[in-house]
Amino acid sequence: MQVMNFHCYQFLDQHSHLFPHSLGEVVSRHNVQELHISLTSGLWRHEVWGYPAINAPPGAEVWAWFKEDTKE
């Protein structure tokens, strides 16, 4: 299933107010298919905010999946 029918560059040019342009350049240049970024600090107050949709460890975490035709 293909979500976008246009290049990532076009999306980033039109929506740079939603997604950092510098990060978009890295995603486009290195053939990234999917990217997950988590930045957390402190404690999650379950009793006040409820449980988070996705648990994340404290600190920074980055996961990236590359398109199948990526060579390097």
| 52: Cα separation from own chain's centroid | 18
- Residue 51 to residues 3, 5, 8, 39, 43, Cα–Cα distance (Å): 29, 35, 33, 17, 12
Q: Does residue 54 carry a pLDDT above 70?
A: yes
pTM of full prediction above 0.85: no
Q: d(Cα 29, Cα 22) in Å, to the nearest integer?
A: 11
**Mean pLDDT score across all residues of the chain:** 77
Q: Does residue 67 carry a pLDDT above 80?
A: yes
Report pLDDT digits (tens) over 21-44. Answer: 788 888 888 888 888 888 888 888
Q: So what's the pLDDT on residue 48?
A: 92
